[in-house]
A and B are shown apart, each in its own frame.
Chain A
Amino acid sequence: MSTKRSEVDDARGAGGAAARQSDGPEKMPKTEMRESNWTPEQRAEYLHRRRGRNFLLLGALAGFCLLIYAIALVKLHEYGQLW
Chain B
Amino acid sequence: MSESTVPRDLGGSTAADWFSLLKPRVMSLVVFTGAIGLIVAPTHLNPVLSFTAILCIALAAGASGAINMWYDADIDAVMHRTSSRPIPAGRITAQDALGYGIVLSCVSVLLMALATNVVAAAVLALSILYYVFIYTMWLKRSTPQNIVIGGAAGAFPPVIGWAAATGHISALPILLFTIVFFWTPPHFWSLALFASGDYERAGVPMLPVVKGARHTRVAVMVYSLLLVPVAVSPYWLGLCGRTYGASALILSLVFCYYCWGVLTDKQDAQGLSLTNNAPARAAFKYSILYLFILFGACAVDRFV
Q: Which residues of A contact B (CB under 8 A)?
A: 8, 11-16, 18-19, 32-33, 35, 41-42, 45-46, 49-50, 52-53, 55-56, 64, 67-68, 70-71, 73-74, 78, 82-83
Contacts and interface: CB of A to CB of B under 8 A. Distances in A.
A13 B10 CA distance: 8
Interface stretch (B1-9, B164-172, B184-192): B1-9
Nearest to A32: B7
Contacts, number: 70
Please provide the 7 A-B residue pairs with the shortest distance between their CB atoms, ordered closest to farther: A56-B15, A15-B9, A52-B15, A74-B48, A12-B9, A45-B1, A70-B48
A25 B6 CA distance: 24
Interface string B1-28: 1000111111111110011000000000
Range class of the B interface residue count: 20 to 34
B46 interface: yes
A78 B18 CA distance: 36
Interface of B: 1, 5-15, 18-19, 46, 48-49, 52, 55, 93, 95-96, 107, 111, 114-115
B6 A71 contact: no
A71 B15 contact: no
A53 B12 CA distance: 11
Contacts of A18: 93
